[in-house]
Structure 1
Amino acid sequence: MSSPYPAGELLAELCLNKFDTLPKTGKPTNKEWTILAGVVQYDENRKESKVVALGAGTKCIGRSKLCSGGLILNDSHAEVLARRALLRYFYAELRKAIENKLSIFQWNAEKLFFTLKRELSFHFISTQTPCGDACIEDESCDEESIETPNKKPKLVCDELVQKDFGKTLLNDSEVVYTGAKLIGEHSDLLQQFVGVVRTKPGRGDRTLSMSCSDKLSRWNVLGVQGALLDTLLDKPIYFETLTFCCSRSNEKSIRRAIYGRWLDRQFEHVKYKPQKPLIHICDNTKFKYVEDTGKQPSPNGLVWCDIPVNVNPIEISVNGKRQGVTAKKSNSPQAALRTSKYHLLLEYVELLKAKPEFCKKFGITMEKLEILKYNEFKNIAEEYQNAWGKVKSDYFQQWTSKPQHLQTFSIVTQKTDKTNL
């Protein structure tokens, strides 16, 4: 099937070339490797592509280090960092729209929401297969079982793991280790079942972050914009294509992980619709810092987005915090990346201040903007939250829940010294 979008190789080369132009700081040394993920924006009218977000990283913090102030990035895998960079880009473009500058968004004064220009689409690229289900190759899952919704897939439910999905247990000779861990009671948490959800591994202290296969699958249903931005947009934003620059990537396994494992559990919603993005495998596109057993994974996370240089488009993180922060400020907003929950909430509140129409629409006063808690803002996205609840029930019954107190911070929870931001 021909694609209306640029070839995966071209999209991947754009991301790798953009990464090469970034400063050396934060990149792996000659003895280190990392994973790079990126997002390309394509303008169908102009036939132009440009990289708008990049993320590089392999780390994830354990549950004991989770931050109640929204200051630490729990998950610094490349795919997640790239998506967070994309959110920051969206916020910058929304500010442009409010200021009547050239933007990817247009304001609808009658219906009180922003609309993405219809000629624009977004495309995801990664130098490695996403951890989790996409790493497993299962020959019993043929093309027809993935692509035909009316025929029950071969990934049927096994009574031994009834609470999860796609339960074909691999034979001993076929056991695959994906870098993600099973949820629940298992003799070997790294042994894999086809189609199930998993958490990312952590050294000693287990994480609560879901695998990248599961997160990509979630975004494939609800969109990449998340709950906060969903309240400002008319519809979700999806990745139209997914490109993987890894010779070990298996297209059939990736399609199964992103949408195929759910085809016998149809999700019906007016606004949110499961997608079938085009999958590209680029064997010939080589990343300089590809995983190497003779090297160590880089301890750094790197985030870049297409915003002006004067607002710091590049950030380097270590253990989910901004690199170089002093011990004295390690638990303050100065330690947080601009892609952290805290700063993205700050961006959201600033948009509401600039568009008071939203406050009236949401039934909140301007005075409450800085004291409302993060979870209260997310609950404004009632339609999104209801859909997410149904998606979890239908697809992700074992999706981890983080402690509630981690969601109850506000932008005045911590006092911000803006001169240091």
Structure 2
Amino acid sequence: MWSPDEIASLCYNHFNKLPKRGKPEAGREWTLLAAVVLLTDSSDQKTVQKQVVSLGTGTKCIGQSAMSMKGDILNDSHAEVIARRGGVRYLTEQLHRAVTGQSSDVFCPGAGKGKWTVKPGVSFLFFTSQTPCGDASIFPTTGSQAQPCEPVKAAQNGESERRGLKRHAESELEETRQGPGMKTSDNHSSCRKSGDADEREVITGNKEHNQLNEVSYYQPDVKKVYPPDLHRTGAKCVPDGPTDPLKPGLLYHSVGVLRVKPGRGERTLSLSCSDKLTRWAVLGFQGALLSHYLQGPIYFSAVVVGKGPYNHQAMQRAMRTRCSHVRGLPSGFSIQAPELLQASLEFTHNHTHTESKHTHTQGRISPCGAAISWCAVSQHPLDVTANGYKQGVTKKALGTLQARSLISKVELFHSFLKLRAATEDAQLPETLRGNELRTYWDYKQAAGVYQQAWTQLRLQAFPLWLRGPRELLRFH
């Protein structure tokens, strides 16, 4: 019905048609791309219509001290997160069309009062131009594979050498920062591990776990022996949990653990994209607010990754194995297993391609400071941000309405409130009938079934999941 290359080509072509604003400078800047694609079966179910309904680019996050109590700044501007938030914006407009009696491409009436469900033959898939940062990006290199980071040599002495190895592996990832509090992702050197590892397993030299430690990789053309090594992720283990051994080669990382996105100086509170994709695979990508209106969560039927370092077993471990044991989810929720596929087409603005086009007169290669959000909505589909605010705003305008991204928490919340206001009283979902609902936090917590599912997922699989201060969610 469709192929990974068709999906990759669709997303890349859509990006190419967007205006130049926010795009990386050729040969000097790189970025990552992600998208939500709507699939609609034809009436005879022999063909599938494919439409990009949300697209995002970006590589950065903000530190905790830069987070806003107004909900008006993007904390996480990685492409995958931007694309998902644009997807929520698209779903909100589609629900608005449905509740006001207009034609919706996605929704039809559900079984419960005020509830809606996805139309038969309609589904969504997720595309990302590179393996998500975090756990999915930890797997062994192969001798013939271009290595984003050099193999780590054997440690010579103790803890000081371990710190040196860590700096060597992460220096390229963290040395570029544009704007106050911004953090650069690890995606261009996302380095990973394969195998059906236990959630807390450390990659070891034990034959039972990994026979790669028994051999060295050999490249006939180069006639050079490479010791076994891992692709690495710059995402760091969450506090109070298992840590990375930081030892040479296959012993560098722990696998199956939650990670926060990297940065210089202040730690971020943003979980890795591997972790967030796993959460969406259990709770759906629609979020808590839209759950008020939906008969059940909306899952991605597939996740397609563009050309680059990739390992199917590592993706399975990150997105399936880590939460496969979770039980007791409320009705409608389940442990979804999206189909995991890789395309053979490369994003021409990724780090590897940018490096190949780079000339010494362009200065150093750096991640693009802007994040692009585009979604298939009727008003203002394009939104370009930098440092969490709209690109180009002056310091004087920071914190004002004009500086807000259209996919910031507060803007998505206001779109939801417009949806609620447009809903006839007789069709208002029961969970929205309380007069005490006022803040963003109130409305999220009132989505009781969604919150039950999230509680079970945290308790059984992700007890160390970082949660920001509640005060940051009290805006209205």
Matched residue, 2:351:
291
Greater shift, 174-183 or 238-247, is seen at: 174-183
Are the equivalent residues in 1 in contact too, given 2:64–2:269 (CA < 8 A)?
yes
The CA deviation string for residues 127-154 of structure 1, in whole angstroms up to 9 with x for no partner, is 1000000011269xxxxxxxxxxxxx95
Listed one character per residue, the Cα deviations across residues 29-78 of structure 1 (whole Å, up to 9, x for unaligned) are: 11100000011111112521111110000001111111111001110000
> One-letter code of the match for 2:262?
P
Distance 2:342 2:32 in 1: 16
SS of residue paired to 1:76: strand
Is 1:197 matched with 2:197? no
Task: Give the alignment partner of residue 448 of structure 2, picking from 346, 367, 382.
Answer: 382
Report what 1:178 is aligned to. 233
2:25 matches 1:25: no
Say whether the 8 Å CA contact 1:267–1:274 is kept in structure 2: no
Instruction: Measure how far apart 1:268 and its partner are.
Output: 4.2
Letter in 2 for 1:300: A
| Partners of 1:110 and 1:25 in 2: CA distance | 44
Instruction: Specify the code of the residue in structure 2 equivalent to 1:119.
Output: G
In structure 1, the partner of 2:430 is 361
Is the counterpart of residue 317 in structure 1 residue 385 in structure 2?
A: yes
Q: What 5-or-longer segments of structure 2 have no aligned partner?
A: 142-194, 206-212, 214-227, 359-364
Q: Distance in 2 between matches of 1:206 and 1:101?
A: 46
Matched, 1:219 2:283: no
Please report how far the alpha carbon of residue 377 of structure 1 lies from its aligned counterpart in structure 2 after TM superposition. 0.4
Contact 2:245 2:254 in 1 (8 A): no
Distance 1:74 1:22 in 2: 24
CA spacing shift, 1:167–1:119, aligned 2, 3 Å: same
CA–CA separation in structure 1 for the residues paired with 2:328 and 2:351: 36
Equivalent residue number for residue 167 of structure 1: 201
- Normalised by the size of structure 1, how large is the TM-score? 0.85
Q: Please give the alpha-carbon distance, in whole angstroms, between the structure 2 residues aligned to 1:70 and 1:261.
A: 30
Alpha carbons of 1:268 and 1:100: their partners in 2 closer, same or farther (altered >3 Å)?
closer
> For residues 298 and 360 of structure 1, what CA distance do their matches in structure 2 show?
42
Q: CA deviation at 1:365?
A: 6.1
Aligned pairs, how many? 379
Other-structure match for 2:68? 67
Residues 1:36 and 2:78 are matched in the alignment = no
**8 Å Cα contact 2:139-2:311 kept in structure 1:** yes
Q: Which residue in the other structure is 2:177 paired with?
A: none
2:88 corresponds in structure 1 to 87
Q: Which amino acid aligns with 2:197?
A: L
Change (3 A) 1:388 1:213: same
Which structure 2 residues correspond to residues 17-416 of structure 1 after superposition, within 5 A? 17-30=13-26, 31-46=28-43, 47-103=48-104, 104-108=106-110, 111-137=113-139, 155-156=197-198, 165-170=199-204, 174-184=229-239, 186=243, 191-266=252-327, 268-283=329-344, 285-292=345-352, 295-308=365-378, 311-355=379-423, 356-357=425-426, 361-362=430-431, 364=433, 372-410=438-476
The alpha-carbon deviation at position 275 of structure 1 amounts to 1.0
**What is the root-mean-square deviation of aligned Cα atoms in Å?**
2.3
Following TM superposition, by how much is the alpha carbon of 1:179 offset from its aligned partner in structure 2, in angstroms? Answer: 2.1
| Structure number, greater radius of gyration | 2
Deviation at 1:388, TM superposition (A): 0.3
Shift of the 278–329 alpha-carbon distance from structure 1 to 2, 3 Å rule, reads same
Which amino acid in 2 is paired with 1:199? V
* Whole-angstrom distance in 1 between the partners of 2:444 and 2:426: 18
Conserved in 2, the CA contact under 8 Å of 1:125 and 1:243? yes
- In percent, how many aligned pairs have the same letter? 37
Contact 2:74/2:408 (<8 A) preserved: yes
Give the match's secondary structure for 2:430. helix
